[in-house]
Structure 1
């Protein structure tokens, strides 16, 4: 069993290292690429530290790796989040979670080196709580955006990858809490290394394909050029969709792709393909925000509506609150709605 574990473990380390090299070579300028490299390297450290404990001069160097292992769950969480948000950027609180995991790892290391079991237990327990919180947050984000992705191949991969990450993370949490030092250690190491090998091989296989770039790079804005020639079988459906856009049916609050498909009396899978392949949108939220922001720009530039609160405009456009409207507007114009209105009215006054 140990031979099989070594085969899977060192195979996983080799694959993870090669994955980090490929990502660094092709996607190092993108936030998803940086997160992918950080995730791969942190998992290499984890695989080494859970198997090998080099002792030199009576000092355990394995313990020194612990602070570098703990942020791995945070990087996995962030990489998964970035896959479900075409406009993902690292925020301060994201870095805060990474720092918190590093800090718990440092506390654990101090406890192990000093032989202080209580400090070690506090470090491990705190890290597990943070990991559990990030997993719950990730599952909620996935559930909320489960119908949003319009690219079927990317959608399938994302679900499989994130499911594997969540299952593996939960399994590690359970094993480290209830099964370590209870006679299952050898079996746990084999399962651990095998799971890492399978997931890493799967990711490498995926990014080597023609659509691999979608894991790390998304167009900005998230709209690609639609084809110049529309197939005959799509023409009537596309005309119907454009009529719905002209009638501003996209302003309905809480509109989903299933709801829009019902309005058009069209199968949902066909509507997904139509919006993606004929209109060039990768994500249903981008499709909605693209048209809603266009209407918002018209209203914010209308002198007759200069005293209408931005919140009122946001609600009229189908947003449930001001925050999502501000984010969508700024992503597409580089300004908040209030800044856009102020600048437009100022330019209009100077022109007159």
Structure 2
């Protein structure tokens, strides 16, 4: 088999896997934002697999430019995908689409006008610096959000997906900057296509090994009711730990502490983080540590808002006393649990008296 034929086989395999993956996500989890962004990322990656060449020249066929532009804009989708994947409260805004449009448009203009005008190195370098910037944002988001995920198998798969995509994209961006405007030959493109096909296959395999509802819950997570004791636990040791955890939450109100983490909480209980993560997930029914904390904070805020003696206390004071760092996250979390804003909740309680 010739190098060109092998490259075509690798590209075709990668495109086919990515299209099937996108179709599967849309079929099973079309109502989940992370899954929709995952499908968009898969389709953008298919455009990359079909169009990418190492050491692109300054002359790009007109029909090729849209694919390259979509491939470049896909890095914005990747960043949004990682945000939705690790942050259950993430929502898309109009300016996210604007960022994607600007990056895609710049790549398109670079292909058709900037590079052919004798500025191929500038165009390629700028595009790939943008790519590296969004990869850095995605990695930072992963590092910041990963500890709060309480579903162990999902945590490993999520990190693998992000790391594999970021490593491949980052290495390719650096390579393109160094060889911009030159033709490195068919062998390099064959190797690149083969690596991409292997990474796509590995990601698809990893996703198949995890229950789909673990990776992409069919509905947004709702906060379980706070449970201060479990009447019948299979494991007595686990039950004692749950009781100790609930004492920390109810008596010491440790959820009020600034920057409380699962590591700090595990240290107070003198157990490993993985065990506390499993207890909160499997015994108490939470999938995210922040939701667990916020549920307790919101219960305290609800009591304060319903207290006639605190009717003159500003909502932001109540929010910060309960452990929230600002009003925006408090309002969003409160409405997600109660269905109304804190101000509306207070008015309803006052009118009910």
Q: Give your verdict on TM over 0.5.
A: yes
Paired residue for 2:212? Answer: 212
Q: Is the 8 A contact 1:39 1:75 kept in 2?
A: yes
Aligned length: 341
Q: Is the 8 A contact 2:32 2:216 kept in 1?
A: yes
- Sort the Cα spacing of 1:4 and 1:228 in 2 relative to 1 into closer, same or farther, 3 A: farther
Distance in 2 between the 1:20 and 1:4 partners? 24
Gaps of 5+ in 2: 54-59
Q: What TM-score do you get using the length of structure 1 for normalisation?
A: 0.86
Cα deviation, residue 284, structure 1:
0.7
Find the partner of 1:108 among 84, 88, 110. Answer: 110
- Confirm or deny that 1:230 pairs with 2:230: no
Q: What TM-score do you get using the length of structure 2 for normalisation?
A: 0.86
Paired residue for 1:246? Answer: 250
- Confirm or deny that 1:303 pairs with 2:308: yes
- Confirm or deny that 1:69 pairs with 2:74: no
The range that moved more, 225-234 or 10-19, is 225-234
Gaps of 5+ in 1: 52-57
- Confirm or deny that 1:273 pairs with 2:278: yes
Cα deviation, residue 280, structure 1:
0.5
- Pairing of 1:276-287 with structure 2 (within 5 A): 276-287=281-292
- Sort the Cα spacing of 1:141 and 1:171 in 2 relative to 1 into closer, same or farther, 3 A: same
Question: What secondary structure sits across from 2:11 in the alignment?
Answer: helix
Distance in 1 between the 2:195 and 2:293 partners? 39
Distance in 2 between the 1:214 and 1:255 partners? 25
Cα deviation, residue 315, structure 1:
2.0
Distance in 2 between the 1:298 and 1:182 partners? 67
- Pairing of 1:95-244 with structure 2 (within 5 A): 95-111=97-113, 115-118=116-119, 124-180=124-180, 182=182, 184-217=184-217, 219-223=219-223, 229-233=232-236, 234-244=238-248
- Sort the Cα spacing of 1:184 and 1:229 in 2 relative to 1 into closer, same or farther, 3 A: farther
Find the partner of 2:299 among 264, 286, 294. Answer: 294
Cα deviation, residue 95, structure 1:
1.5
Cα deviation, residue 295, structure 1:
1.0
Deviations 1:156-176, CA, capped at 9 Å, x for gaps: 111111111211121121111
